[in-house]
Amino acid sequence: MKRAYLLLTTLAIIIAGCLPEESGPVSSARADQVFTAVVDEQGNISRPTDFRENWTHLGSWFVTSDGMSGGATMHDVYATPESVKGFKDNGQWPDGTVLVKTVSSLESRQLTTGHAQWTGTPVVWFVMVRDRQNRFPDNRAWGEGWGWALFEAKDPDKNLTTDWRGTGFNNCFGCHTPARNTEWVYIDGYPTVRDSARYPQPVASTGMPVHD
């Protein structure tokens, strides 16, 4: 009996030793680091600041002036580099993924290429943090496996999201519902990763045009 137990334990250790460090969408030492860096023990999310220099740019959206922002805006989306690796390996966002979207003013000028428009100054930052363990069941800024946060330029350190089903910019839930089949993320807009996506439904289920 004792020998069989020993044998099993040894086998388990050998098997564990052979598994790659990232063995699935849930990978935890790294996630814990993220949770310590960006999220406190109550689930309050703070605004990452080094994403432009050190994170991966997923893609950009140009939104015309008929939308909610009151003018044409440029949206740039970034992800932590390790979450991009996880997505490419497994087709879904790993635990601890952080996504940041900046909404910026639009600059434009006639250049040698033509009438050029580009990203100006950020006015709003949206942050999503992937939580595959339901860490904060009582915090209403967390839902559907993500923590949701919003920061505005006039007070960039203040998280304005107490409920992800709030109103205005805090209606994260309502506005992200069309993307619910792709982990609530508008994956079509992210050429850096979209071809690696593995979701049960086709990506076109977001209701957006399908890319080639």
In whole angstroms, the minimum distance from the beta carbon of 68 to ligand HEC comes to 5
In whole angstroms, the minimum distance from the beta carbon of 110 to ligand HEC comes to 26
The answer to whether 103 and 124 have CB atoms below 8 angstroms apart is yes
Binding site for ligand HEC (CB under 6 A): 61, 63, 68, 75, 77, 99, 101, 126-128, 148-150, 161, 164, 169-172, 175-176, 185-186, 189
In whole angstroms, the minimum distance from the beta carbon of 36 to ligand HEC comes to 20
Nearer to ligand HEC, 27 or 97 (CB): 97
Nearer to ligand HEC, 150 or 203 (CB): 150
The answer to whether 211 and 188 have CB atoms below 8 angstroms apart is yes
Nearer to ligand HEC, 30 or 101 (CB): 101
CA gap 139, 130 in Å, rounded? 14
The answer to whether 172 and 179 have CB atoms below 8 angstroms apart is no
In whole angstroms, the minimum distance from the beta carbon of 192 to ligand HEC comes to 12
Nearer to ligand HEC, 55 or 148 (CB): 148
The answer to whether 187 and 176 have CB atoms below 8 angstroms apart is no
The answer to whether 151 and 47 have CB atoms below 8 angstroms apart is yes
First to last CA, the chain: 59
